[in-house]
Amino acid sequence: MRKGVLLGAAVVLSILGVRQVWGEATSRDLAKARGAQLRDLLRSVEGAGKEPARTFRTPDGYVRFLSAPAAAHFSVAAGTAQQQAEAFLVRWRNLFVNESAAVALEQKRVKTANGRSYIRYRQKYAGIEVFGAEMIIQVGSAGGVEAVISNIMRDTEALDEAQ
C-alpha cells in the first residue's frame, strides 16, 4: 500500500511538473509571437520620422508604451479619430492584453487638443471595471496613431481558468 501511495504521488508530481513546463513553454511562445507582431507594427510606421519608434514592454512581451517617431504615425484605416483608435485596437490588441473573451476595452472619453485626439479606454473584466486600468491612444490631426499608453491588466489567464 505504501508503494502505491508513493507511486501515485510521483505520478501526480510528474503531471504537475509537465503542466508547469508546458505552461512556461506556452508563455514563451506567446511572448515570441507578440515580439513578431510588434515588429510588424513597427514596420507599419508612415511619415518622415528619422528615429526609430519607441516602445516599452513588460518582461512577458506585452506593450505598455508605444510612440511613433516625430512627424510619423502608425498606419490605420481612415475615419474619425475614434474609428482609427478602434481599428488600431482590433488589429493590435494582442500586443497589449492576452486573448480573453472576458476582457473589454470600453471608450471612456475623447479629448482633442492642439490638433490631436486622445481616446481614453477603461478596461473591464467579465463586465466589472478593473480599478485604474486604462489605455490612451493618441491620434494625430492628419490621421494615424502616434502613441499608446497602456496601464491595463495584461495577463488574465488565472482569472480565465477560475471561471
Model pLDDT for residues 34-89, shown as the tens digit of each residue: 888 899 998 889 987 678 899 999 988 899 999 999 889 998 888 999 999 999 99
Mean pLDDT of 107-131: 95
- Per the listing, cell 526609430 goes with 52
Taking the CA atoms of 15, 16, 19 and 20 in sequence, report the sign of the dihedral they define.
Answer: negative
Owning domain of residue 150: 2-162
pLDDT band at 15 (very low <50, low <70, confident <90, very high): very low
pLDDT band at 98 (very low <50, low <70, confident <90, very high): confident
* Whether the predicted model's global pTM rises above the 0.85 cut: no
How many structural domains comprise the chain? 1
Residues belonging to the chain: 163
Distance CA 149, CA 120 (A): 10
The bridge status of strand 116-125 relative to strand 103-113 is: antiparallel
Asked if 39 and 55 touch (Cβ cutoff 8 Å), the reply is: no
Residue 18 has pLDDT above 50, yes or no: no
The bridge status of strand 72-74 relative to strand 63-67 is: unpaired
Taking the CA atoms of 36, 40, 41 and 47 in sequence, report the sign of the dihedral they define.
Answer: positive
For the chain, give percent helix, strand, coil, nearest 5.
Answer: 40, 35, 30
